Amino acid sequence: MQDYEVLTAKWKKSTCRTFSEYARKVLLAEPVVMTTRNLSLDILIEAVNRTRAELAKLQEKPILSAEDRNRLFAMILDLKEAYYRISELCIPN
pLDDT of res. 91: 67
- Note whether 61 and 68 are within 8 A (CB): yes
In three state form, how does the secondary structure of 34-82 look?
Answer: ECCCCHHHHHHHHHHHHHHHHHHHHHCCCCCCHHHHHHHHHHHHHHHHH
Domain spans of the chain, in order of start: 1-34, 39-90
Which stretches of the chain drop beneath a pLDDT of 70? 91-93
Predicted local distance difference test score (pLDDT) of residue 93 = 59
For position 60, what pLDDT does the model report? 76
